[in-house]
Amino acid sequence: MAVKPSNKFGGKDFGGCGLIGIIDTSGTPLPGGMIISSLCTMKERGNGLGSGYAIYGVYPDFREHYAMHLMYSSDNAIPVVEEHLKENLEVIHSEPIPVRRVGAIQHPPSFWRYFVNVPEKQRGNGAGQDTIVRVVMEINEKIENAYVLSSGKNMAVFKGVGHPDEIADFFRVDEYSGHTLIGHNRFPTNTPGWWGGAHPFTILDWAIVHNGELSSYGTNKRYVEMYGYKCALLTDTEVVAYLFDLLIRRKGLSLEASASVMAPPFWKNIQEMGEPQKSYYTALRTVYGSAALNGPFAIVMGFNGGIMGFNDRIKLRPLVVGKKGDVVAIASEESAIREVINDPEDIHVPRAGEPVIVRLKDAKK
């Protein structure tokens, strides 16, 4: 099946991916068509080698279970994965993910979703989430022709090789809804265009879409692999999802602090700060230096309590924020925001490296 990494243009491509995150802070579900139309306004930012969507609040009937989306490039992998899931987790329900026939998408992989629980004896003190991470890493690294696309609670990822309208049509994204929607239109540069390499990249509830390239990937990869994560999906963005999980869930950093680790102030600027800021940023850079991201980038991250967007320290990739009422959007282009927010009450461009954090009103800080 046509899922192996490839670059149909035969060389290195340069361009700028399109990304968009939309949230209704009241928790009101937004229709899937909203993220489709917004992302399609940035169709020229991709080249058909990858598009994808993440939706939060998508499975209300299974909200307390981890929703694992699996991609199979060979159906022979299905029984192997299902046996592995049964050995490690409690499988509550499983089914093929509904898809449509799309003329532009030939010989796609198979997609299944599994709603699972961690066995009760493994749930204490964060061990349940550690179990999910371990199972995801084992499948991606050790089971041939199987890849986990998402593994969070009440969230889902739909992604593959194609333009944003084609992938949305294939996965029937218009039939879903959620309080937070994230989309990505890919233009691969240093990494191959293949189904598992499309964005978003996830682990647990974290979902990442990214425009740019990370020259620090080797350092970042070695750092997260010290903690048991395995980068198996052949693109630099994967490591960002694992960094967020490591810094926030396991190390206990705040969203703001994690952004300051990944896009830290320059040392010369830290030296000019007064206390306690000087000591604070010195400590972050010293302790978590291997988690800093170098290179041009803009990132939007989704999580069950909201979204966050930020870009690199000298703003080599664009990011725009728009707001009207309870709805906030973060995107590569203002046009993508205006496509879904009529007459926004605020449009602004955040400063380089400055995190924009938008939470659901009832979410914990």
Active-site hit among 3, 17, 68, 168 = 17
Return the structure tokens found at 70.
């699996």
Using DSSP, state whether 214 is helix, strand or coil.
coil
Q: What is the DSSP letter of 249?
A: I
342 vs 177, 334, 348, CA distance in Å? 20, 12, 15
Contact (CB, 8 A) for 164 and 172: no
The answer for residues whose C-beta is within 8 angstroms of residue 281's C-beta and 6 or more apart is: 260, 264, 265, 270, 273
Instruction: Say whether 17 is catalytic.
Output: yes
Establish whether the linkage from the previous residue to 98 is cis, with ω within 30° of 0.
no
Task: Please give the Cα distance from 49 to 161 (Å, whole number).
Answer: 5
Per 3-state DSSP, the chain is made up of helix, strand and coil in percentages (nearest 5) of: 30, 25, 40
Return the residue matching tokens 């810094």.
Answer: 247
At residue 21, φ and ψ (nearest 5 deg) are: -130, 135
211 vs 195, 309, 336, CA distance in Å? 17, 11, 15
Task: Please give the Cα distance from 245 to 133 (Å, whole number).
Answer: 10
Q: Catalytic residue numbers?
A: 17
